[in-house]
Amino acid sequence: GAEEPGMEAEELPLGCGGGGEGGAAGRPPEAEERPDLSQASVSNGSDSESGKELVELKVIWNKNKYDVKFRLDSTGADLKQKIHSLTGLCCAASSCSPRSPAVGCACNLYSCLLGLPPAMQKVMFKGLLPEEKTLREIKVTNGAKIMVVGSTINDVLAVNTPKEAAQQEVKAEENKKEPLCRQKQHRKVLDKGKPDDVMPSVKGVQERLPTVPLSGMYNKSGGKVRLTFKLEQDQLWIGTKERTEKLPMGSIKNVVSEPIEGHEDYHMMAFQLGPTEASYYWVYWVPTQYVDAIKDTVLGKWQYF
Q: Does residue 33 have a pLDDT over 60?
A: no
Read off the pTM: 0.45
Q: How many CB atoms lie within 10 A of CB 272?
A: 21
258 φ/ψ angles, rounded to the nearest 5 degrees: -155, 140
Percent of the chain with pLDDT over 70: 65
Cα separation, 228 vs 247, in Å, equals: 10
Cα separation, 19 vs 9, in Å, equals: 14
- State how far Cα 179 lies from the chain centre: 34
Q: What confidence score (pLDDT) does residue 51 get?
A: 55
Overall fold of domain 54-88+115-155:
Ubiquitin-like (UB roll) (3.10.20)
Least confident of 105-109, 177-181, 186-190, 251-255: 105-109
Cβ contact 168:132 at 8 Å? no
Cβ contact 272:166 at 8 Å? yes
Tell which CATH architecture fits domain 180-299. Answer: Roll (2.30)
Q: Does residue 234 have a pLDDT over 70?
A: yes
Q: Does residue 32 have a pLDDT over 70?
A: no
Element (H, E) at 146: strand 144-150
Cα separation, 216 vs 225, in Å, equals: 7
Q: What confidence score (pLDDT) does residue 35 get?
A: 45
Residues pairing with 259 in the sheet: 267
Least confident of 111-115, 139-143, 238-242: 111-115
- The angle formed by the CA atoms of residues 120, 123 and 129, to the nearest 5 degrees, is 120
Cβ contact 12:25 at 8 Å? no
pLDDT, tens only, 263-305:
999 999 999 998 888 899 999 999 999 999 999 999 876 433 3
Q: What is the mean pLDDT of the chain?
A: 76
Q: Where are the domains of the chain?
A: 54-88+115-155, 180-299
pLDDT, tens only, 136-154:
998 998 989 998 888 777 6
Q: What is the mean pLDDT of residues 88-106?
A: 44
Percent of the chain with pLDDT over 90: 31
Q: How many CB atoms lie within 10 A of CB 118?
A: 19
- The angle formed by the CA atoms of residues 88, 123 and 202, to the nearest 5 degrees, is 160
